[in-house]
Amino acid sequence: MTSHSFFITSLFAFTLVCLSSVSLASGPERVQADELMGMLEGNEKVILIDVRTPAEHYGAHIPGSVLMPLDTLEGVKSLPEGGRIILYCRSGKRSLTAIDILSRKGYKGLVDLDGGIISWTKAGGEIITGTEK
């Protein structure tokens, strides 16, 4: 075996050992809009947190959701209790940021509504417009 092929073989083996010890993060748990509808229809205990702005929330929101704007989450001392916490925004980007912020604060088991309120409405989910709760 030449020194070059020995080096390549050793490098390959080293890379395999390193990669086998790395755990790949899968990211936060996500729920599809139709799954969330099933959860709500089945009376599963769910807490919906809308991380959009107050103007967006009052324009249209999922019934029963709690408004907790993204820009307020660094100061959050507690989250509502009593069910599985599912966060949503318009399309899913801000809710992932919210989950990151809250996870760094020690909260666990947070779920993202994949595609946000856009996917919810496309799936036929009920929305409330105006200032109704």
- Domains along the chain with CATH numbers: 25-122 (3.40.250.10)
| Residue 133 confidence (pLDDT) above 80 | no
State mean pLDDT over 97-114.
96
What is the structure's pLDDT at 11?
A: 40
State mean pLDDT over 2-31.
54
CA–CA separation, 115 and 103 (whole Å): 20
Strand, helix or coil for residue 113: strand
Number of H helices, E strands in the chain: 5, 5
What is the structure's pLDDT at 121?
A: 97
pLDDT band at 64 (very low <50, low <70, confident <90, very high): very high
pLDDT band at 19 (very low <50, low <70, confident <90, very high): very low
Euclidean distance between the first and final Cα of the chain, in Å? 74
What is the structure's pLDDT at 5?
A: 54
| Residue 12 confidence (pLDDT) above 50 | no
CA–CA separation, 79 and 128 (whole Å): 23
- DSSP code of residue 61: B
Residue (of 43, 57, 46, 69) closest to 132 by Cα position: 57
Handedness of CA 71, 74, 77, 79 (dihedral sign): positive
